[in-house]
Amino acid sequence: MWRGLLLAIAFLTRIPVRLPAELDARDQGMAVAAYPLVGLGIGFLLAMLGATATWLGLPALPAAVVIVSVLAALTGALHLDGLADTADAWLGGHGDRERTLAIMKDPTCGPAGVVVLVLALLAKVAAVAVLLEVQHGWIGLLSAPLLGRAACALLFPVLPYVRAGGLGESGARHLAGSALAVTAGGSAVVTLALGGWAGVVMLVTAMAVFALGVRLMRRVLGGFTGDTAGALLETVETAVLVAAVMVLAGAGGG
């Protein structure tokens, strides 16, 4: 698992890590199972940043911009890029598989991608700003990256990877299913244990978005790509943040 975790950190973040000299296909499969662990680490960092901002008495909106910016920088905006590419391809492909895949390969970002990207970032900033001002808002900051990366990992046993070559295909072919069951199940347990009723809502939200994403990918592509995996991660992450706001702010936490 340790080698897989290092590979997952290298792939999902811009944190410099020293990878072992020799990595085999089993390590790539184990890396997928480690995605939730990377999400937990990112979530812990966001929660600590939020706690620090609150302790320092910083205004919520600027602090939220900083936190979302740190998240984007930490991941190299990799998943945001996937979200934009998927939005362009989904609207431009008109349900045609080959056209959709071709558009996703285009390095330019079209108007649909730009609009979806801006809306996602605005939703994240707004949600984080509210969570910084409510009691137990840190739970949402921790759970969103965790559930987003767990959802991304769970694509591998559910759908085929449709592009030949690359880490995605190797990770799917050599997936460590039992390890993934432990880490993904652990993600749900952590969310429920820390969040209580809010955890239930966040988990159900993540599951609903995951189910919808899987259905759309299966219908249009017959599987998933790196871009659609990133889009799912971002969508789950944003939806969980919004769900946390609805529950924690709605409960009068402040």
Where exactly are the structural domains of the chain?
2-15+25-248
Task: Report the pLDDT value the prediction gives residue 253, as an integer from 0 to 100.
Answer: 45
Enter the DSSP assignment of 164.
S
Inter-residue contact 13 to 74 (CB < 8 Å): yes
Say if residue 134's pLDDT is above 90: yes
Q: What is the pLDDT of residues 68-90, one digit of tens each?
A: 999 999 999 999 999 999 999 99
Which single residue is written with the structure tokens 């349900």?
95
Say if residue 58's pLDDT is above 70: yes
For range 230-254, the mean pLDDT: 90
DSSP letters along 83-144, please? Answer: HHHHHHHHHHHTT-HHHHHHHHH--S--HHHHHHHHHHHHHHHHHHHHHTTSTTTHHHHHHH
- This prediction's pTM: 0.94
Q: Report d(CA 102, CA 95) in Å as an integer.
A: 12
Residue 17: CB atoms within 10 Å: 12
Q: What is the pLDDT of residues 203-221, one digit of tens each?
A: 999 999 999 999 999 999 9
Say if residue 232's pLDDT is above 50: yes
Task: Report the pLDDT value the prediction gives residue 165, as an integer from 0 to 100.
Answer: 64
Say if residue 172's pLDDT is above 70: no
Q: What is the pLDDT of residues 135-166, one digit of tens each?
A: 999 999 999 999 999 999 999 999 999 987 65
Q: What percent of the chain has pLDDT over 70?
A: 94
